Amino acid sequence: MMKNMLIVLGRVFAFIILSASAFGEPIQIVTEDYPPYNYEVNGELTGFSTEVVKLIVQKLGMQAQPKLLPWARAYLIALKNKNTLLYTTTRNQERENLFKWVGPLAPRTLFLFKLKTRDDIKINSLEDAKKHRIGVVIKGAFSQNLISKGFVVGKNINQVSNEEQNIKMLFLGRIDLIGNVELYMAYELKSLGLDFTQLEKVYEFPDNSSYYMAFNKKTPDTIVNSFQKALDELKQDGTYQKIAEKYLK
């Protein structure tokens, strides 16, 4: 009896030490403006992914508030700083060994879009797309994806700092194509007072991935594993789906 009691107490004590070492250091959370996954409304950071991340932080009893930054800056901060979490992030081959991953947060099906009025643009393959100017965000996953497939910055890739610039340039005829997930494009055009039905999907990428949370490589596995477990529990108890349904309406 005493022996069993000592074993139980030993496990509890070990858990307390593990928890303290895992969460004793502050966690920094960074993201970009990428509605409907992460964005601000009246100074309040919200969105599908943000709601999920905040619930996980609350579930784990941590004190951390996501901070909205330009994508390139948020990416570099997460790449260089221990105990830093970046979301909503595409998990791809180029980034696989740069971070520790938690997810998936959401599916990611990427399309190329053109204006419906551009009858001159016919895309049946990526080789066809190389004949046109495609708008991308600097250091974004879509940009990295195209460059890995032989597209060239300044030739058939036009880089800008955010997706809003790309959309405006598309409607002004300064670029021919833009690429993103359909849910995001619909949301972004609506926020700009533009009609999403004016766009046409002309190509679906075959190598689609998912959105994840990405931790700096020096973050302890105990923290990463705790986030993964909490996310899995949100999916299992139906909370995740309830949040998703809010943004599908």
Which pLDDT does position 23 carry in this prediction? 58
Residue 166 DSSP class: H
CB 138 within 8 A of CB 242: no
Residue 11 has pLDDT above 90, yes or no: no
The mean pLDDT value for 59-85 works out to 96
CB 108 within 8 A of CB 211: yes
CATH code at 172?
3.40.190.10
Give the confidence band of 40 by pLDDT, cuts at 50, 70, 90: very high
Q: Are residues 103 and 217 in the same domain?
A: yes
Quickly list H helices, the chain: 2-23, 48-59, 71-80, 126-129, 141-148, 163-171, 182-191, 221-236, 239-248
Taking only the tens place, the pLDDT of each residue in 102-129 is 999 988 888 999 999 999 999 999 999 9
Total domains, the chain: 2
Domain contains 52: yes
Longest dimension (CA), the chain: 82
The parent domain of residue 243 ranges over: 26-107+209-248
List the end-to-end C-alpha distance of the chain, in Å, as a whole number.
58
Q: Can you tell me the distance from the alpha carbon of 125 to that of 9, in angstroms, rounded to the nearest whole number?
A: 63
The pTM for the full model equals 0.66
pLDDT given at position 104: 95
- Which 8-state DSSP code applies to residue 193? T
Residue 204's SS3 state is: strand
Residues 90 and 213 occupy one common structural domain: yes
Centre a 10 Å sphere on the Cβ of residue 64 and count the other Cβ atoms it contains. 18
* pLDDT above 90 coverage of the chain, percent: 70
- At residue 247 the predicted structure's pLDDT band, cuts being 50, 70 and 90, is confident
d(C-alpha 239, C-alpha 52), whole Å: 9
Q: pLDDT band at residue 136, thresholds of 50, 70 and 90?
A: very high
Q: What is residue 249's predicted lDDT score, i.e. its pLDDT?
A: 62
pLDDT value of residue 245: 81
